[in-house]
Amino acid sequence: MRHFGHLGVDVRRRLFLVEPTPFDRHAPAATLATALGATLYLPATRRTLVADVRKQAARAVVSMVLCLEDAIADGEVAAAEANLVDGLRTLAGLGGSAGDLVGGESGGSAGGGLPLLFVRVRAPEQIGELVGRLGPASRLLSGFVLPKFTEENGGSYLEALADAELACGQRLFGMPVLEAPELAQLEHRRAELLGLATLLAKYRDRVLAVRLGVTDLCAAYGLRRSPELTAYDLALVAGVIGDVVNVFGRADGTGFTVTGPVWEYFPLGRTGPELTGLLREIELDRVNGLLGKTCVHPSQVPAVHASLVVGHEEYCDARDVLGGARQRGGGVVGSAYANKMNELKPHRAWAERVMGRAEVFGVARAGVGFAELFAACRDAEVRGGC
């Protein structure tokens, strides 16, 4: 798969100095975690689930979550499970290969390619039950999203994941969602985060990314942001995000990819408060150490992906930092844009993260920014009838 693979070759050459690199579901975990991008959630009750997944693949969605939890009513769980199992079996029968072909030169649907597919369960026991019911169709899954993840229930989720991986004979990742009220409550937060850090370190190879469940955190205090505001404008939520990054976002080898919170507002046009708010939140996500975004509407996806392309100035600075660090070991170099200093040692971890993002999302040409990238994605959708 490849980000922006649905754009024409001539369009990509015009927009990108360095084009996104193709990858598949068997890529290293660090590559997949960076490449998740806009992770689109879809209720597992959708009667058009098969068509919806294929359609989003054609729109270059790289990661999707089929949700059995908060996106559906409590009384719909059994029907949603049956619908999900039937849908994945149908996709497998159509020759779909999740995470292998999406985003190809002629669009994601060519060759039956699918996004990286995850299932958001309600309880640990659902993981093994679903893998058993899916049988060979479980090969379409890249893993499971683990909601309301705490130190108390997290071990059960991760052990169930390990058992399911053994049963189906393929790699399955978990993405814990940190959203329990204890994380928002000052008297419990520190102990809960440190306990979670110990637990996730034990299962490091199974954890693809740590996701933030800001909607549930807000619910514990009756809060909700408007489309003009970001999660960072809610002081309580901003404090939780900062502490989560402090514990799980470290660049010393102990950290994980931490993804940005859901953006609730849609549809997104080329202008409007919903788009402005989302772009501001994505920028704050990035400077605070978060990468990727939970999305609930397809119109959010091109905005998120266009925002994740590495800008030309950012790329030049990262390249110079890493090159200087290799040659000199330390010191300061001037920016190619002559507007800042680049310190070779302090900025090295930042530069490495920029280059990781550049590998999967590409580098824009000088003078190409969000507006051009976003417009190209929207135009591709119109031409493709998506």
**Feature table: binding site:** 120, 187, 216
CA dihedral 359, 362, 364, 365 (to 10 degrees): 80
Handedness of CA 1, 296, 145, 252 (dihedral sign): positive
- Cα separation, 365 vs 312, in Å, equals 6
Cα Dmax for the chain: 63
Contact between 125 and 160 under an 8 Å Cβ cutoff? The reply is: yes
Which residue is it, tokens 């929207």? 378
- Cα separation, 386 vs 379, in Å, equals 10
Closest by Cα among 71, 83, 57, 4 to 358: 4
Q: Give binding residues for Mg(2+) as ranges.
A: 187, 216
Q: Give binding residues for substrate as ranges.
A: 120, 187
For the chain, the residue count is 386
Tokens of residue 292, six digits: 């990727």
Contacts of 44 (CB under 8 A, 6+ apart): 66, 67, 68, 71, 72, 80, 81, 83, 84, 119
Which residue is it, tokens 């550049």? 358
List the alpha helices (DSSP H) in the chain: 9-15, 29-35, 49-58, 77-93, 124-134, 151-168, 181-184, 186-202, 214-219, 235-248, 273-287, 300-308, 312-328, 348-361, 370-384
Contact between 129 and 94 under an 8 Å Cβ cutoff? The reply is: no
Residue 21 is classified by DSSP as P
Contact between 229 and 285 under an 8 Å Cβ cutoff? The reply is: no
- Cα separation, 237 vs 223, in Å, equals 9
Tokens of residue 106, six digits: 């002629």
Residue 207 is classified by DSSP as B
